[in-house]
Structure 1
Amino acid sequence: MYFLFKVGGGQEQHRLIKDMWNLGHIILFMLLSIIILNMKPLYNKSLIFKFFIITLVSLILGPATEAIQLLVRREFSIHDIANDFIGAYLGLLIYIISNKTKTTTTRFGAGMLALFLLSIGFRDIAPTIVDEIAIYDSFPVLAGFESDAEINRWELVNVRTVRDEQHPISGSHSLKAEYLPATYSSLSLLHMKSDWRGHEQLLFSIYSVNQQNIPFEIKVHDQYHSRTGGGYGDRFNKSIILKQGWNFINIPLDPNRCIS
């Protein structure tokens, strides 16, 4: 229960950790299902009746756990409820597989269904693992936009984005960003290799289609900054003017050369 209501709720947690903690729903309901199925009142009941009981319990407890999480500032998630059902049915399939009174064919079929449900349960964590490997393989390039998966590394606030082939600076793609009218619009790279020691500068390029000069604010900060209130003086800040066409920005990583 601790996994559901406490640990995974912090926004500062790494996305891979969040995905792993979301598996807690599957594990919890799988164990709960196995416990229920091994209760004496269900010993002589049919498999269909046991399936009905497990479904009913999931229908009640799944939304209930999500409602309780609202009390600890977690979001109500249909995704988590789906994981609850996956875990409950996995428990039922494990119960069938471990029941030696069932035929070999029945137990084999249950095993295949269990593998299928596991593949659904890992539907989020597997792409995250693949993208995390890609992040380290492509470093020191932080963003090349050569795959759709890279878009998920960014947080968008009042911004629409799409991978584009019209203005690549390297490779075959760039990121086309449309800033929508709002008080604050931002495009933030959240998922990257965080240790930049040994590198001298941060380089990136922006192609502006606007004929007028556009003011642009660059901010660089760490997780500690987010956890301690996000003060202006606790991050790197730089204001630049984007001119029409290509703009090449060079930010020294040496704090003695950086100008905030």
Structure 2
Amino acid sequence: MSDGQRLWPGKFNHRWILWPPAVVLAVLLFAGGPGYHSLRSVQALWNLGHIVAFSLWTYLLVTWSRVEEYSPLRQRALGIAFCMVAGAGSEWIQSWIGRDASLGDVLRDVAGGWLTLSFFAPSAKSFSRHARRATGALAVFFLVVACLPLATALFDEAASRSRFPVLSDFETPFEKSRWEGGARYSVDTTIARRGKSSLRVDMDTSLYSGVSLVYFPRKWTGYRALVIDVLNPSPDPLDIRCRIHDKRHEEGERQTQDRFNRFYRLPPGWNEIRIDLDDVANAPKDRAMDLENIRAVGLFAMKLPAPRSMYVDSVRLE
């Protein structure tokens, strides 16, 4: 019996038992996965699958009879090279089949390989105790860093649920991750209408420039209005648009008449944007918007003659 077969005595006695999950993981690398607006925790958990996959594949590589004959150092170099080349190659392929390539995924691939080389590979025992401790500590560090997005997502999702009907007021950590957009945006702790923080949005002169709130409790039934506090810090009025859409719009043709759109001219200072949810429900041309499955709230400017800023605070339902 080889060292590779003795790794998990009585549980995995043959390498071939590992091949079915290895093949399944290879398929999942290019198919399936959470949707664009799935919970951030689900997306982060899915991304951790890269660590599992490359840990398993690296184990199969270094326990292959031909590779087992290599020196421990050569096995380690081969394992890392495999993770880097296969990881980068898979991301390149994904970019060509309509999926997003990610450097973070490549780093998770390498972390998975390093985890196996540090703890599970039979050759790991060939290194000195100090070397094993160092490589093991590095593997644990990689694993902790890789799990941080999952931890922060779970924390913010719990905060979001507990503070509903407040959708975002920037008073808890990690709220910035609820937002997306082409404009530059950051949490500002010097300006706020309520609490201590707001979201500063720096818009440029592109066709559309702004931000969207995309992670929040989706069910808005039972409330009358969406309220948003927006500061225009300039002495000149600021023209912005607010758009709201639901799941059906997102999965359909995304036509303008199938969502809520409204223009607002904001004078200098703080402004309260109050949107009646009946107006939101009746906004689509040929249907009612699904207030039980709202997907995004956007605030943006169009074709600004010069860069402008605004501050967003206390996005809430009333």
Match of 1:75 in 2: 100
Q: Deviations along 1:103-134, whole A, 9 cap, x unmatched?
A: 99887776555433321221322222222122
Aligned to 1:50: 75
Q: What is the correspondence of 1:1-260 to structure 2 with a 5 Å cutoff?
A: 1-8=26-33, 10-96=35-121, 112-147=137-172, 149-157=174-182, 159-254=183-278
CA distance in 2, matches of 1:257, 1:21: 33
SS of aligned partner of 1:250:
strand
Identity in percent: 29
| Bigger relative contact order (CA 8 A; separation at least 6) | 2
3-state SS of the aligned residue for 1:217?
strand
CA distance in 1: counterparts of 2:84 and 2:256, whole angstroms: 47
8 Å CA contact retained: 1:96, 1:110: no
SS state at 2:186 partner: strand
Measure, in 2, the Cα distance between the counterparts of 1:234 and 1:211.
35
TM-score (norm 2): 0.71
Cα deviation 1:156-184 (Å, max 9, x = unaligned):
22x23233344422111122222211211
SS in 2 for 1:8: coil
Aligned length: 259
Do the aligned residues in 1 keep the contact of 2:111 with 2:139 (CA within 8 Å)?
Answer: no
Corresponding residue for 2:316?
A: none
Query: Amino acid of the residue matched to residue 248 of structure 2?
Result: Y
Structure 1 residues 31-56: Cα deviation after superposition (integer angstroms, max 9, x where no partner): 11111122222445432122122122
The residue identity in structure 1 corresponding to 2:101 is: F
Q: Would you say the 8 A contact 1:165–1:174 is kept in 2?
A: yes
Structure 2 unmatched runs, 5+: 1-25, 285-318
Q: What are the Cα deviations for residues 225-250 of structure 1, in whole angstroms up to 9, with x where unaligned?
A: 12212112221222222122221122
User: What amino acid is aligned across from residue 14 of structure 1 in structure 2?
Assistant: L
Task: Report the residue type matching 2:228 in the other structure.
Answer: F
Distance 1:60 1:104 in 2: 30
Q: How many Å separate the matches in 2 of 1:117 and 1:56?
A: 17
SS in 2 for 1:59: helix
After TM superposition, give the deviation of residue 69 of structure 1 in Å: 1.2
Q: Do 2:258 and 2:283's aligned partners in 1 also have CA atoms closer than 8 Å?
A: no
Name which of structure 1's ranges 23-32 and 145-154 shifts more when overlaid on structure 2: 145-154
1:96 Cα deviation after fit: 4.4
User: Alignment partner of 1:57: what SS?
Assistant: helix
Question: Could you tell me how far apart the structure 2 residues matched to 1:257 and 1:25 are?
Answer: 41
**TM-score where L is the length of structure 1:** 0.85
Q: What amino acid does structure 2 have at the position aligned with 1:173?
A: S
Q: What is the CA RMSD across the aligned residues, in angstroms? A: 2.9
* 1:5 counterpart letter in structure 2: F
Structure 1 range deviating more: 212-221 or 12-21 = 12-21
How far apart are the structure 1 equivalents of 2:42 and 2:136? 28
